[in-house]
Amino acid sequence: MAENPRKLVAERLVIASHNDGKVKEINELLEPYEIVIIGAKKLGLFDPEETGKTYAENAAIKARTAAVGSGLPALADDSGLDVVALGGAPGIYSARWAGSPRDFGRAMVRVEEELRKTGTEDFSARFVCVLCLAWPDGHEEIFEGEVRGRLTFPPRGKKGFGYDPIFIPNGHDMTFGEMEPDAKHAISHRADAFRKLKKACLEQF
């Protein structure tokens, strides 16, 4: 984070995602602030390809495209699962490991198979969420959130999404898939990144 982060003074903020679920979740996280949230799809904005090599690059590509296309500040996130013994994979490819149409059962089997192949006993992993807030003049603020934990197989729990059923956050016995959504949201990588964004850019609201 920059030493003097730019404050968000606009009343309207574009969420640079064409995923209605993500727009809704971000809307809820920003509910206490008097900001009108607009989804990129609603504005008919272009959905760019995620060609970056890092979470931050991908978040910036999405936020920049929406800020320039709308003339308004725009917020994007990029997230995924980093498995230590797999050198950080699936990482930015977390969604892509689920194939098309998305099948996270298959993606979790792949994570297990690749881990077993290495012969490792290190099942540590983390979820990462990087947020990029971009302005139409090119200014950007980036925030990274994480939650550390370990993987377990077979998957457990039906409450979450994606890789939640194989991830046990540190200090807990349940997987994210078994935890109540509020309990997960209190400690998640997304909550961590949003806490940092709010502190830096939204405190004045």
Minimum separation from the CB atom of position 26 to ligand IMP (A)? 12
Verify binding: residue 178, ligand IMP, rule CB under 6 A: no
Place of tokens 């799809």: 41
Looking at 95, 174, 183, 202, which residue binds ligand IMP (CB under 6 A)?
95
Active site residue 20: no
Q: Does 94 bind ligand IMP (CB under 6 A)?
A: yes
- 164 lies in the binding site for ligand IMP (CB under 6 A): yes
C-beta atoms surrounding 50 within 10 Å: 17
How far from 182 is each of 30, 69, 138, 188, CA to CA, in Å?
A: 16, 34, 35, 10
Sequence-separated (6 or more) residues with CB below 8 Å from residue 154: none
Is residue 127 involved in binding ligand IMP (CB under 6 A)? Answer: yes
The reply to whether 162 sits near ligand IMP by the rule CB under 6 A is: yes
Q: CA–CA distance from 91 to each of 23, 36, 80, 81, 97 (Å)?
A: 22, 31, 5, 5, 10
Task: Give whichever of 95 and 109 is closer to ligand IMP, judged by the CB atom.
Answer: 95
Q: Determine which residue in the list 79, 83, 142, 201 makes contact with ligand IMP, applying CB under 6 A.
A: 79
Given the rule CB under 6 A, which of 3-11, 77-85, 116-124, 148-156 is the region that contacts ligand IMP? 77-85
Binding to ligand IMP by residue 161, rule CB under 6 A?
Answer: yes
Catalytic residues: 78
